[in-house]
Structure 1
Amino acid sequence: MKIAIATKDFETVSSHAGQTRQWLVYDLTDHRSNQLLPAPRRVNLEKEQVLHVFEDNEAHPLDGIDLMVAASAGDGFIRHMKKRGTEVLLTGETDPALAITRILAGEALPDQRFDITTALCKVRDLFSRH
């Protein structure tokens, strides 16, 4: 399983997945519960690779991700990622390391915080291509 966490400067969970450029990618394919977490790979997207504007007409650095974690995302983004084979999990957890640890332990993550951009995304999603 591969999990990508949307971040701000690779430090805190980002509040807008579709606009996020910095991602921490955990490849847990060979991970066992009694092992330390592998170090995440840092993915820094170019402007044209940001998922809100990416055209899906070529390979993307986040291809093959099973689960994306972010503080917020619009319904259109969630539908778009589902078409790409990726589930989206929204949370109020701000610490990426704590979020991944809780996910692997099967613990519930805190509910997402209020974010005005999510409301704006819902309006934008009414006219979304996804």
Structure 2
Amino acid sequence: MKIAVSSQNQTNVTAHLGHCQKFWIYDVDDTTIQTKQLLRITKDQSFHESSPKDSHPLDTVQVLISGGIGRGLARRLQSKGIQPLITAETDLDAAVMAYLDDTLVVMTPEEHHQREHGDAPGHRHGKPEHSPE
């Protein structure tokens, strides 16, 4: 399974996905990280600039973790078979391991928006029952 994590500064989970041009791509099995590689995309390939109809360098991942994803972009990812997850976790490896352990606290786009303008509780979310390998 491949998990992408948005990380514009290459150190932490990026708060906003749309303009992000750097992603860590994790190859994982059910419980561990196998490899981790940095993927750099061009500004034209960022989700904000690219067309939902075009192929995208992240089309091969099954899960995309970010600090913020709008509803439209979440639907775009889901239509490509990618599970979008919004989390307040900023540590890259910790976010992936929490996902693998079914303990990653995630938010809906609405909860994320409320959190930016107040506070809203997240909920736990992990691997789907039948995740593709």
* TM-score of the superposed pair, with normalisation by structure 2: 0.74
Instruction: Please tell me whether the aligned partners of residues 7 and 14 of structure 1 are also in contact (alpha carbons under 8 angstroms).
Output: yes
Counterpart Cα distance in 2 of 1:51 and 1:99: 21
RMSD: 2.0
- In structure 2, what is the equivalent of residue 106 of structure 1? 102
- In structure 2, what is the equivalent of residue 125 of structure 1? none
| Offset of residue 41 of structure 1 | 1.3
Instruction: Please tell me whether the aligned partners of residues 72 and 115 of structure 1 are also in contact (alpha carbons under 8 angstroms).
Output: no
Counterpart Cα distance in 2 of 1:59 and 1:53: 13
1:73 pairs with 2:74: no
Percent of pairs with identical residues: 24
1:85 pairs with 2:86: no
- In structure 2, what is the equivalent of residue 63 of structure 1? 59
Matches within 5 A, 1:36-55: 36-55=32-51
Secondary structure of residue in 1 paired with 2:23: strand
Counterpart Cα distance in 2 of 1:22 and 1:83: 22
Structure whose residues are more often strand by fraction? 2
| Higher RCO (Cα < 8 Å, 6 or more apart) | 1
- In structure 2, what is the equivalent of residue 115 of structure 1? 116
Counterpart Cα distance in 2 of 1:109 and 1:67: 15
Change (3 A) 1:68 1:32: closer
Instruction: Please tell me whether the aligned partners of residues 67 and 88 of structure 1 are also in contact (alpha carbons under 8 angstroms).
Output: yes
Counterpart Cα distance in 2 of 1:110 and 1:77: 16
- In structure 2, what is the equivalent of residue 8 of structure 1? 8
Task: Count the aligned residue pairs.
Answer: 112
- In structure 1, what is the equivalent of residue 130 of structure 2? none
* TM-score of the superposed pair, with normalisation by structure 1: 0.76
1:18-48, CA deviations, whole angstroms, 9 ceiling, x for partnerless residues?
Answer: 11111001122xx253xx5223111111010
**Structure 2: runs of 5 or more not aligned:** 118-133
**Structure 1: runs of 5 or more not aligned:** 117-130
Amino acid at match of 2:95: A
Instruction: Please tell me whether the aligned partners of residues 14 and 70 of structure 1 are also in contact (alpha carbons under 8 angstroms).
Output: yes
Amino acid at match of 1:8: Q
